[in-house]
Structure 1
Amino acid sequence: MKISCHLHKRMSERNISYDVINLIMSLGDFSKNGERIILNKDTIDIAIKHTDELKKRLTNIREKNGGTLVLANDALITSFFHYGKNHAKNNQRKNKEKHKRKHYCHTSSAPES
């Protein structure tokens, strides 16, 4: 959207940054006649609530060292958290792999005569 010289002047006079303009454009609602974009207090409160919820979700994912989605042919195939090397789930997985290897080696050995 184009920005008029008048807007630049008013932004300067009223100490309104481009970040504020972008927030109003992103979160605000058009007036009935479509001449204004209005970001009111109620909408701001809803946005803050959603931001708090987003922060909780992101914190949860961060505690697991992030997450990954695996894609193939425009479809989601699987998802997983990264966890740390010393995380209990990774240790369980390693123990299962060791057990499978031991079991595999044991079953693949030649029978005794």
Structure 2
Amino acid sequence: MAKTRHIHKRMSQRGINSRLVDLVTQFGVDHGDKCILTRKNTEALIGAVDTLRSQLIEVQSKGGLVVVEQGDYQITVYSLDSYSRKKAKEGDRRVLH
């Protein structure tokens, strides 16, 4: 969204940068022609980001995850580094001999 000269002047006077304005417009609540991001809303968002961070660290510790889907069904899930074609081929050779 385009910014007027007025908002640029007020941002400069109040020490508010464009990133903060973008956060308010992205996560704030619309009230008519205003968008408001309260202290309470920011605390809830920080909690959600902290939860997301811990979940991402858990996925990272597993080496990444793969979810296999078909249509609207989730079929299986496994760690990204758990499957090795080389090991699978060696397993096939052992069965054939």
- TM-score category (smaller protein): 0.7 to 0.9
Could you tell me the TM-score, scaled by structure 2's length? 0.76
Unaligned runs of 5+ in 1: 84-88, 106-113
Partner Cα distance (2:18, 2:68) in 1 = 37
Root mean square deviation, CA, Å: 2.9
Change in 2 beyond 3 A, CA 1:97/1:16: same
Which of 26, 48, 55 aligns to 2:46? It is: 48
Unaligned runs of 5+ in 2: none
Identical positions, percent: 27
Amino acid at match of 2:51: E
Amino acid at match of 2:14: R
Q: Deviations over 1:23-45 (max 9, x none)?
A: 100111112xx121100011111
Equivalent residue number for residue 11 of structure 1: 11
1:67, distance to aligned residue in structure 2 (A):
3.0
How many residue pairs are counted as aligned between the two chains? 96
Partner Cα distance (2:83, 2:74) in 1 = 23
Partner Cα distance (2:78, 2:7) in 1 = 47
| Bigger proportion of residues as strand | 2
Could you tell me the TM-score, scaled by structure 1's length? 0.66
